[in-house]
Homo-oligomer: A and B are copies of this chain.
Amino acid sequence: MPLATDAHFEKLLRPKKVAVIGVSLTNPFHPANIIFNKSFYGSGSVAYPVNPHGGELEKRPVYRSVNELPEQADLAIIAVKAPLVPGIIRECGAAGIKAAIIISGGFAEVGGEGIALQEELVKECRRHDICMIGPNCIGVYHPPYIDSFFLPPERTVIPKKGAISVISQSGAFLVDQILTRFYEEDLGIRTAVSIGNRAMLDEVDMLAHFAQDTGTRAICIYLEGAGTRPREFYELCSEVSSRKPIIAFVGGKSLKGQRAALSHTAALAGNSRVISSALAQCGVIEATDELELASLAKIFDFYHHRPLLEGNIAVVSSSGGHGVVAADLCEGTGLNLVPFSDKEQRALKKLCTDSIRNISSFQNPLDLTGSASDLDFERTLDYVLSLPRVEGAIVLALPYTPMITSFIGTRLGHVVRRHDKPVAAYIPSLAKYGMVLEGFELNGIPVVHTIQESVQMMQALYRLGLAVQRSRRNGKNHAARNNHAGK
């Protein structure tokens, strides 16, 4: 029997009745109180507050135990002092509850007695067939059913609903490095899970769930160290990555970082290079800087059909300097700025308006200069994407040049649809360029705010191409081996 069945996940992610255990009668900022309020006021589920002392919270009854609830809860969210948790789990088991999220810290991450306490906790969960996330986590965000992120809602932001699912070993990293960036990038979220000490459900279980979840288009993972079950994890990644992109950011790759990870989520150390190479081997696209995770998720969110690049792209820019920087950033990424022949450069020149024809550079990267208009972008992008050897493009669009209008995105989106080749755009981050940005994104072209991210986006399609090729090759080898064995 698998550790976590579909029925377990149903109760974890789509609970209709939630018991929040550990609410304080005096401290409105207690994690349990924030979770209770979020559930009570903000979700589609029914929430019951529990505290062994009973009493009242804002004139509503507080239940002494999950056994006293008016109806059986689907899910228990537990935020009490660590030593009390195993006992609470026993009560949950007796009440027939099959899913639990344990917010409380003070287990394996503090060492010593915490380790024994965590073992006891897991034993209790297994004994009662309770599927448990945590401890030492912020739990699950799956709108509109559950949000156990115990942060005051007015202090956080909520990305729109969407198709990216996230697994994170750090709750805080999940909140501001992932969800906040998703919000800023207008990227949609399906489910976000903070696995904390991952004493029971870990990244492998969650990945297996999201792999078969039809609502999940791509999976983002923040891991510390090598993971609890590296072999199972890498095997599962290999199997999943060629049909559903997996993006990972790994913390604790340095010596000091490893030590910190041990006291953070009791994560075991792993060799940095070994981890990166293993991830690449099994088709996981590793993000190596903070902004990259969200921009990689974005490219896969925009390009559902996941075009696979061999790396041959064009860069269309209205700034020579931006083109130079983009060319530098492509170096060593597998991306190749396709050279344009003299004939092609002449053709491009002919397509441009009079004001830029004689001052632009028609090599790759194209530098259309600050006098370029929407039409110049449209015609040159159309031409370069029409070349069979160009597989996609990066557009560096600068809305501060006078001839760019908010219509440029509609024009370029039209071009992209005609050629069905992926394009990523860089637009500076100012709020006043919002109309320009929306013109791009509404027309199917993802936008980022650093040149580097636009390069990383195109590189992600190239890396995915490599992963799929490798997977096909392995599949054939596998088939060949099986044939041979059968003879």
* Chain A residues engaging chain B, CB cutoff 8 angstroms: 29, 31, 34, 105-106, 109-110, 138, 150-152, 154-157, 168-177, 180, 184, 222, 224, 251-257, 259-261, 263-265, 289-291, 318-325, 327-328, 330-331, 337, 358-359, 361, 363, 365, 367, 369-371, 398-403, 428-430, 432, 450-452
Contact = CB atoms under 8 A, between A and B. Distances in A.
A280 to B, nearest CB: 18
Nearest to A291: B450
Contacts of A289: 289, 450, 452
Contact of A175 (B174, B175, B254, B400): B400
B325 A172 contact: no
A468 B471 CA distance: 53
A362 to B, nearest CB: 9
A390 to B, nearest CB: 15
B370 A172 contact: yes
Given A151-B370, A263-B367, 5 more contacts: A105-B369, A176-B428, A255-B331, A264-B321, A264-B324
Contacts of A152: 400, 402
Given A155-B402, A263-B320, A256 B175 contact: no
A367 B331 contact: no
* Pairs A-B, 3 closest by C-beta atoms: A170-B321, A264-B320, A172-B319
A270 to B, nearest CB: 12
Contact of A320 (B254, B260, B320): B260
B170 A324 contact: yes
Contacts of A155: 399-402, 432
Given A105-B369, A260-B320, A331-B255, A452 B170 contact: no
Contact of A398 (B168, B176, B330): B176
Nearest to A370: B172
Contacts of A180: 428-430
A151 B401 contact: yes
B328 A257 contact: yes
A5 to B, nearest CB: 30
Contact of A324 (B261, B328, B398, B399): B261
A158 B401 CA distance: 15
A359 B322 CA distance: 47
Contacts of A325: 173, 177, 251, 257, 290
A264 B170 contact: no
Given A256-B327, A428-B180, A320 B265 contact: yes
Contacts of A400: 151-152, 155-156, 175-176
A259 B157 CA distance: 44
Contacts of A367: 260, 263-264
Given A321-B172, A370-B151, A450-B291, A331 B254 contact: yes
Contacts of A337: 256
A253 B330 CA distance: 11
A254 B321 contact: no
A402 B154 CA distance: 10
A365 B260 contact: yes
A97 B466 CA distance: 61
Contacts of A257: 324-325, 327-328, 331
A429 B358 contact: no
A251 B172 contact: no
Given A155-B400, A324-B264, A330-B256, A359 B110 contact: yes
A323 to B, nearest CB: 5
Contacts of A222: 321
A401 B174 CA distance: 13
A370 B171 contact: yes
B256 A171 contact: no
A474 B324 CA distance: 35
B175 A264 contact: no
Contact of A323 (B260, B401, B450, B452): B260
Contact of A254 (B177, B328, B371, B429): B328
Contacts of A452: 289-290
Contacts of A321: 168-174, 177, 222, 224, 251, 264
Given A256-B330, A289-B452, A106 B359 contact: yes
Contacts of A151: 370, 400-402
A263 B171 contact: no
A143 to B, nearest CB: 18
Contacts of A34: 402
A192 to B, nearest CB: 14
